[in-house]
Chain A
Amino acid sequence: MRIELQKFGKVLTSRPAGKEAWLVAQAYTLSDKKPNEKIEVDFTGVQVLTPSWADEFLTQLKKSYTKDVILLPSDNPTVKAALEIIEKE
């Protein structure tokens, strides 16, 4: 399955927004995930991503589905910087 982050907004900056997106994704998207199905995270269309939003959404996603999450490449400089920061953990 593919999660298009732009469906949560083009500017993804705050923790509460990230937390809300995570709850919604669990309820309406990830509930349909089949066992061993890969989850592709698509950053297309996202203009601004911060580590705060990413921590609430992507970190939780990766914790819950460790082996299944694939972060698709992005040219957006804030996506690259935010992922680099949260992946240092």
Chain B
Amino acid sequence: MRTETANKILTHIKEKDEISPHLLADYLEISHQAVHRQLKKLLSQNLIFKAGRPPKVTYSLKPMIIQNATIWASSNNAPHIPPNDIYCQTRDVFTGRADRLLADLQRHTQNDNLSFLLSSVVGEIGNNSFDHNLGNWRDIPGLYFTTDLSAHIMVLSDRGQGISATLKKIKPQIKDDEEALTTAFYEHLSGRAPEQRGNGLKFVKKIITENNWELEFRSGMALCVIKNNITNITKSNINIPGTLAIIKF
């Protein structure tokens, strides 16, 4: 639930494209501390992003496809069924869309190898959702899959069991969502016994890192960010019961 102040901040950032906390405080006529508290909350909700370093910090709105996917993925109750161009109820639908994405990427980037690599990352993340959640979706089955190639963003999300619940079946000692993500991105095991492999997210990490792209991967209360060749797994302020992956290339 957003406060009136938070809504005013979002509206004003939208009007200005980007704005400093100082100008926001002046506009809203509230203290700098109050502005920073609100900005921190909005950052944690994946609605805005921060650029620059003090004293030249500015805030901008996150692209709508990221905001919408985050709201869909984090909703406590079953959200609406996404539009047909976003929703892949079954793997077959996802496979068809992933095949079309490859052709779109080739046209857009004019670079076959880059398109193949991006397509492999999308294929691995999207298929993981079906591999690990078939018959076990929380509410809405399938995958939320959308792209904005001109903004170089691709988003995938599911309302499945999440990484922690999946991995705990074969590694019960996992104590929280951060440890589960660490296991998924670094250790070789599979969440779907008796298959012995669980290399999907290690593969994704390798491709993202080697190509200097960015990945934001959320599951439960954990967040994995791969950026500038560095992988950082931290506690998140948003709960994503299934998974949410944002790829920037």
Chain A residues within CB distance 8 Å of chain B:
11, 13-17, 47-52, 55, 59, 76-78, 81-82, 84-86, 88-89
Q: Is the CB of A48 within 8 A of B202?
A: no
Q: Is the CB of B127 within 8 A of A77?
A: no
- How near does chain A come to B53, taking the closest CB pair, in angstroms? 34
Please report the number of residue pairs spanning A and B whose Cβ atoms sit closer than 8 angstroms. 88
> Which of the four size classes fits the interface of chain B?
20 to 34
B124 at the interface (CB under 8 A from A): yes
Chain B residue contacts of A55, Cβ below 8 A: 195, 197, 199
Chain A residue contacts of B112, Cβ below 8 A: 47
From B120, B127, B128, B196, give the contact of A78 (CB < 8 A): B120
Chain B residues within CB distance 8 Å of chain A:
91, 95, 98-99, 102, 112-113, 116-117, 119-120, 123-124, 127-128, 130-131, 188, 195-197, 199-200, 202-203, 206-207, 210
Q: 20 A–B contact pairs at CB < 8 A? A: A11-B102, A11-B119, A13-B98, A13-B119, A14-B95, A14-B123, A14-B130, A14-B131, A15-B195, A17-B95, A49-B120, A50-B124, A51-B124, A52-B131, A52-B200, A55-B195, A55-B199, A76-B113, A78-B116, A82-B120
Inter-chain CA distance A76–B99, complex, in Å, is 17
Q: Is the CB of B197 within 8 A of A78?
A: no
Residue of A47, A88, A89 with most chain B CB atoms under a 10 A cut-off:
A47
- Chain B residue with Cβ nearest A84: B206
- How near does chain A come to B58, taking the closest CB pair, in angstroms? 36
From B99, B131, B196, give the contact of A15 (CB < 8 A): B131
